[in-house]
């Protein structure tokens, strides 16, 4: 990341200079440190009395937790946002959500472009790493598309939400616009923060509101590269394999999720929605499946749902959204590559083919690495939580960990029950989910290829 000249300048500061160099010499380290510094700054600003409601004294650990949740676009919170923070604090929260959704480097490149500064290859490589692109080519055009898409979609969402609040709920014009802006930003960036204490439960059967939020969630979850691809080619046959997989997953995963949850919660005699009409239940289930992919909005108390639904939600949270999107999880394409590779092995075929395109071996290796290391992180954090929070139900802690990894923000009402150590673990998990488990590992790992080749030998597998 640093040139030889800059490294020489840093060397004048001794060990401190070397430490700075080693923290920022890789794109992975730069991304992880950038998110961390952004969160720390946000936590400090939220902790200041000027950000909090009169009479409120939110602890620093809670402010840091909220900042981490906003910066990683998760939505978990141990406190009521509307009651804890005033207008200034909520604006800080919105900025953290926006920076977390777009990526701090995207904002930095926009500022460089506006001020007329040259954008070099190092900055392009960081964007490539941040959005999992194949090459640094076209990154500046992608950043421009990201900004334009974000502004347009969020403005449309703001107007639709504001009109609904103004006409149907008789909010004042100014409050309607502000609430519309806040929730449009929160929804498009898949953050899941709401200014109502019960999340969106009060809008459970409001079709206009629910569809608007759901549309923002799905567009943000598709990914900026997919949106740009669809806008440029406007034909399903012409778009890239990644874009095709994302569009198909939006229909297939959400569709199967809705059917399964309707069976669990409405058809089943044990379901929480058995007293609702078909369309009332469909309202709730559709939105809950959409928001489960990466956002923490709720229109129903999750603790009332049957265990099968909780299990389904955890699977959806683990899979998450698409690469280069505002969501997290292992990503849809990762799950698709692994499933197809397993099916390819079972059929005795040599190459993994998706939609008439052969998947590269390196991509398959990366997919397995992401899935495995993500599971290991989830297992480790869940174990530490279980040991340090003996009074909290294990399923609640497991659910909380998966939710943090997927930066979803759904909870079985255990967030406020965590002690400071437990909150720190969840904060770490949210950061892992946002920047990626491999990025975190690359931050500490020394990468090098073997110069020695050893003899090959068959092993007994399975």
pLDDT at 125: 59
pLDDT at 343: 94
Domain tally, the chain: 1
pLDDT at 250: 82
Output the six-digit token pair for 348: 């005795």
pLDDT at 76: 92
**DSSP letters spanning 73-89:** T----SS-HHHHB-HHH
In a domain, 181, yes or no: no
At 326-362, the pLDDT tens digits run 678 888 889 989 999 999 999 988 899 888 888 889 8
pLDDT at 459: 75
Distance of alpha carbon 108 from alpha carbon 72, whole angstroms: 17
**pLDDT level of residue 18 (50, 70, 90 thresholds):** very low
**pLDDT level of residue 13 (50, 70, 90 thresholds):** very low
**pLDDT level of residue 16 (50, 70, 90 thresholds):** very low
**pLDDT level of residue 116 (50, 70, 90 thresholds):** low
pLDDT at 143: 74
Is the pTM higher than 0.95? The answer reads no
Output the six-digit token pair for 177: 């616009």
**pLDDT level of residue 453 (50, 70, 90 thresholds):** confident
pLDDT at 195: 94
**pLDDT level of residue 77 (50, 70, 90 thresholds):** very high
In a domain, 113, yes or no: yes
At 82-93, the pLDDT tens digits run 899 999 999 999
SS3 labels along 152-215: HHHHHHHHHHHHHHHHHCCCCHHHHHHHHHHHHHHHHCCCCCCCCCCCCHHHCCCHHHHHHHHH
pLDDT at 64: 96
- Average pLDDT score over residue span 305-314: 94
Place of tokens 């604006």: 91
In a domain, 127, yes or no: yes
pLDDT at 450: 59
Question: Do the beta carbons of residue 121 and residue 136 sit within 8 Å?
Answer: yes
Phi (first) and psi of residue 189, to 5 degrees: -85, 10
Least confident range of 114-123, 137-146, 163-172, 430-439: 114-123
Output the six-digit token pair for 56: 């409120």
Least confident range of 33-37, 182-186, 189-193: 33-37
Distance of alpha carbon 135 from alpha carbon 256, whole angstroms: 34
Residue 382 reports pLDDT greater than 50: yes
In a domain, 71, yes or no: yes
Query: Which residues are within 8 A (CB) of 288 and not within 5 positions of it... i.e. 6 or more apart?
Result: 261, 298, 299, 300, 313
In a domain, 106, yes or no: yes
Question: Do the beta carbons of residue 434 and residue 407 sit within 8 Å?
Answer: yes
Cα pseudo-dihedral 214, 217, 219, 225, rounded to 10: -160
Range of the domain at 78: 1-136
In a domain, 152, yes or no: no
In a domain, 88, yes or no: yes
Please give the radius of gyration of the chain, using alpha carbons only, rounded to the nearest integer.
22
Distance of alpha carbon 10 from alpha carbon 19, whole angstroms: 9
In a domain, 103, yes or no: yes
Query: For 340-350, b where at least 16 C-beta lie within 10 A, e where not — what string?
Result: bbeebeeeeee
At 240-276, the pLDDT tens digits run 888 888 888 888 888 999 999 999 999 988 888 988 9
pLDDT at 21: 42
Residue 52 reports pLDDT greater than 60: yes
Residue 440 reports pLDDT greater than 90: no
Distance of alpha carbon 166 from alpha carbon 158, whole angstroms: 12
At 397-416, the pLDDT tens digits run 999 999 999 989 899 999 99
Residue 447 reports pLDDT greater than 80: no
pLDDT at 256: 93
């Amino acid at each position: 990341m640093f040139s030889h000249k800059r490294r020489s300048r840093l060397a004048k500061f001794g060990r401190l200079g070397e430490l700075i160099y080693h923290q920022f010499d890789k794109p992975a380290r730069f991304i992880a440190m950038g998110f961390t510094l952004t969160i720390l700054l946000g936590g400090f600003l939220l902790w200041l009395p000027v950000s909090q409601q009169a009479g409120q004294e939110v602890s620093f650990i809670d402010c840091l937790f909220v900042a981490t949740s906003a910066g990683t676009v998760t939505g978990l919170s141990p406190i009521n946002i509307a009651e804890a923070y005033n207008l200034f604090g909520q604006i800080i929260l919105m900025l953290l959500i926006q920076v977390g959704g777009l990526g701090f480097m995207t904002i930095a490149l926009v500022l460089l472009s506006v001020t007329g500064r040259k954008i070099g290859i190092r900055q392009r490589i960081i964007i490539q790493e941040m959005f999992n692109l194949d090459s640094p080519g076209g990154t500046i055009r992608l950043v421009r598309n990201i900004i334009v898409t974000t502004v347009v979609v969020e403005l449309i969402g703001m107007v639709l939400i504001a009109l609904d609040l103004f006409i149907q709920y008789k909010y004042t014009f100014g409050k309607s616009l502000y609430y519309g802006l806040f929730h449009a930003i929160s929804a498009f960036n898949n953050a899941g923060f709401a200014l109502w204490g019960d999340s969106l439960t009060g809008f459970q059967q409001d079709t206009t509101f629910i569809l608007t939020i759901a549309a923002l969630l799905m567009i943000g979850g598709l990914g900026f590269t997919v949106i740009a691809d669809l806008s440029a080619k406007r034909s399903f046959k012409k778009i890239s394999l990644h874009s095709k997989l994302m569009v198909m997953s939006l229909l297939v995963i959400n569709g199967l999720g809705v059917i399964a949850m309707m069976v669990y919660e409405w058809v089943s005699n044990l379901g929480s929605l058995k007293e609702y009409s078909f369309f009332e239940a469909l309202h709730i289930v559709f939105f809950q499946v959409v928001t489960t992919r990466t956002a923490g909005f709720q229109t129903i108390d999750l603790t009332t749902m049957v265990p099968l639904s909780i299990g389904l939600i955890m699977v959806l949270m683990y899979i998450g959204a698409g690469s280069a999107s505002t969501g997290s999880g292992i990503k849809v394409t990762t799950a698709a590559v692994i499933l197809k590779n397993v099916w390819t092995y079972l059929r005795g075929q040599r190459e993994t083919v998706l939609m008439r395109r052969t998947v590269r071996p390196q991509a398959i290796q990366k997919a397995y690495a992401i899935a495995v290391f993500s599971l290991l992180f989830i297992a480790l954090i869940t174990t530490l939580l279980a040991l340090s929070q003996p009074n909290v139900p294990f399923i609640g802690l497991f659910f909380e960990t998966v939710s943090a990894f997927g930066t979803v923000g759904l909870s079985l009402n255990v967030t406020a029950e965590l002690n400071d150590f437990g909150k720190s673990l969840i904060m770490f998990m949210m950061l892992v989910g946002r920047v990626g488990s491999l990025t975190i590992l690359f931050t500490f790992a020394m990468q090098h290829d073997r110069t020695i080749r050893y003899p090959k030998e068959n092993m007994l597998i399975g």
